[in-house]
Chain A
Amino acid sequence: MAYEDKSAMIRILHVHKRYGSKNALRDVTLDIFDKEFLFISGPSGAGKTTLLKLLYLGEKVTGGNIIVDGQNLSRIPRRELPFLRRKFGIIFQDFKLIPGKSVYENIALVAEAVGTRRKLIRKKVGSLLRNVGMEDRADALPRSLSGGEQQRVAVARAIAGNPKIIVADEPTGSLDPESADVIMDLLRQYRNLGATIIIATHDTQRIRSTGGRVIILREGRVESACVIPKME
């Protein structure tokens, strides 16, 4: 196996993660390919969220290595961390929009944080909001939006920094089926622009309707992997 496989965007090599005495991940080895649409599934407590957090250094591995875009995460100095994180766009089940800020400000904040030039921000945020169909609600506060609308804003925020990789933890977990379809559509569109998409979910129904590779975790181990073709 070539260590530097060109087509692997992320390599996870014999990764362990312990929280105290609790083994959340055990010897996980997995390649995630460039422009892939990958699902990570499995029962509650299997370690899906943990695995995603390790990728953007939201948590540190207890053992093993993770290589993202050619960079070994255990060798990233502290001041480089922000630049690693800019490769990722993160989406949460509970959206995590900032309640006191408008839709526009929520997205603009991230655009600024990743270093978008001041002059371009207004235009950039405008086009992101159009992409997710929220241009009319730019001045609304998150609490006045439906769950589906909030998640659309969260998607716009996730792609505000033009990340190579989208990491979504149960992005449709708290949405009705129609809203969930909209979100999955948006993610697919972004994949088609050349990004890698990683979604943790136990919604097997939705995996079938979308298609893609599926990794099943159980008790912290990779139990199986398979490719499910898109259902027509």
Chain B
Amino acid sequence: MIYLLKRSLKDMLSRLFLNTLTIISIAMAVLIFSAALLFFVHADQLLRIWLADLRIMVYLKKDISEAETGHIREQIEKMPEVAELVFIPKEKALNRFRQQMGKQASLAEGLRENPLPDSFEVRLFLSAGNWKAVAPLAGQIAEMAKVEDVEYGEQWLGKFIHILNLFRMSAYVLGGIFFLAAVFFVANTIRLVLWSRREEIEIMRLFGATESFIKDPFYLQALFMGTAGGVSGLGGLYLILQIISQNTAVYVPQEFFQLRFLPLETALAILAGSMLTGWTGCFFSLRQFLKS
């Protein structure tokens, strides 16, 4: 095993330029892919924060009776998406309003009659996935008797999710293209090595070398390129993230939103993916070469 490693390593050193180029191509693929992933991790984090903050305000008609209010409460609570329901009587709403006005509170003092309606504040179980459920839900509530008006999350949140999904799609496509390019690079490198060693391979076969004896060094080399590419791609992303977070720490409140690296499992999965890239390239190259 150690010997096999030595053999592959020696081989790679003799084609340092080509191997470096291949490793760089894998690293680029990994960098782009994991950067996109990292972006989405953070975008999703933001989204979760916003969605958790999202609530539907249900304003009730002025002439509503206590029984009718109870009925509406019951109906809303029955809905499965509803996490929490808080009744805000108009007095409390006014108090809140006054507090928010602060010094200008005198403005409100002059009011003879409370202009604010009773209302419900509805919190939902929300994620990016069932975001679309909000609009019909709000519509349903709006149609209930004695409901004056319904107000919920700003339109731009929906747009944001839409754009994010668009981004996600293009990132997957781009990642796929880069993956293919990296496979192609590995296959090409391995093919060149195979070609330059074809006499040796032919001799080994004629003298009874097993397929694995012939192939293993190539797979090892490809796996090494995959690993090196994966590690440098992820390392590059880590460095970039460090630089960004040092330069933005001042502007972003840390307790609210934190710049983080990819979770360990994700990073390991990406590394495994880049090793698979190497393996795949090698597989195709060997299959093509050993057939002829």
The number of residues on chain B lying at the interface, defined by a beta carbon within 8 Å of a beta carbon of chain A, is 13
Residue of A nearest to B14 (CB): A100
Q: How far is the CA of A12 from the CA of B3 in the complex (A)?
A: 41
How many Å from the CB of A97 to the closest CB on chain B?
Answer: 9
Q: How far is the CA of A48 from the CA of B55 in the complex (A)?
A: 90
Q: Which residues of B contact A86 (CB under 8 A)?
A: 207-208
Q: Is the CB of A82 within 8 A of B209?
A: yes
Q: Which residues of B contact A88 (CB under 8 A)?
A: 208
Q: Is the CB of A110 within 8 A of B200?
A: no
The number of residues on chain A lying at the interface, defined by a beta carbon within 8 Å of a beta carbon of chain B, is 24
Interface mask (B182-224 → A, CB under 8 Å = 1, otherwise 0): 0000000000000000011001111111110100000000000
Q: Is the CB of B200 within 8 A of A90?
A: no
Q: Is the CB of B207 within 8 A of A85?
A: yes
Q: How far is the CA of A157 from the CA of B206 in the complex (A)?
A: 12
How many Å from the CB of B286 to the closest CB on chain A?
Answer: 15
How many Å from the CB of A116 to the closest CB on chain B?
Answer: 11
Residue of B nearest to A78 (CB): B211
Q: Is the CB of B204 within 8 A of A110?
A: yes
Q: How far is the CA of A96 from the CA of B210 in the complex (A)?
A: 20
Q: Is the CB of A109 within 8 A of B206?
A: no
CB-contact partner of A90 in B199, B206, B209, under 8 A: B206
Q: Which residues of A contact B213 (CB under 8 A)?
A: 112-113
Q: Is the CB of B207 within 8 A of A98?
A: no
Q: Which residues of A contact B203 (CB under 8 A)?
A: 96, 98, 109-110
Q: Is the CB of A161 within 8 A of B199?
A: no
How many Å from the CB of B157 to the closest CB on chain A?
Answer: 61
Q: How far is the CA of A79 from the CA of B211 in the complex (A)?
A: 8
Residue of B nearest to A105 (CB): B200
Interface mask (B243-254 → A, CB under 8 Å = 1, otherwise 0): 000000000000
Q: Is the CB of A109 within 8 A of B200?
A: yes
Query: At the interface, yes or no: A118 with Cβ under 8 Å from chain B?
Result: yes
Query: At the interface, yes or no: A3 with Cβ under 8 Å from chain B?
Result: no
Q: Which residues of A contact B3 (CB under 8 A)?
A: 118
Q: How far is the CA of A85 from the CA of B213 in the complex (A)?
A: 14
Q: Is the CB of B200 within 8 A of A113?
A: no
A61-119 residues with Cβ-Cβ distance < 8 A to B are: 79, 82-86, 88-90, 96, 98-99, 101, 109-110, 112-114, 118
How many Å from the CB of B50 to the closest CB on chain A?
Answer: 60
Q: Is the CB of A83 within 8 A of B208?
A: yes
How many Å from the CB of A95 to the closest CB on chain B?
Answer: 11
How many Å from the CB of A151 to the closest CB on chain B?
Answer: 15
Question: Are A56 and B209 also in contact (CB < 8 A) when A98-B200, A109-B200 are?
Answer: no
CB-contact partner of A114 in B199, B200, B208, B211, under 8 A: B208
Interface residues of B (CB under 8 A from A): 3, 199-200, 203-211, 213
Interface residues of A (CB under 8 A from B): 56, 58, 79, 82-86, 88-90, 96, 98-99, 101, 109-110, 112-114, 118, 157, 160-161
Jot down 28 A-B pairs with beta carbons below 8 A, ordered by A: A58-B206, A79-B210, A79-B211, A82-B205, A82-B210, A82-B211, A84-B208, A85-B206, A85-B207, A85-B208, A86-B207, A88-B208, A90-B207, A98-B200, A109-B200, A109-B203, A109-B204, A110-B203, A110-B207, A113-B204, A113-B207, A113-B208, A113-B213, A114-B209, A118-B3, A157-B207, A160-B207, A161-B207
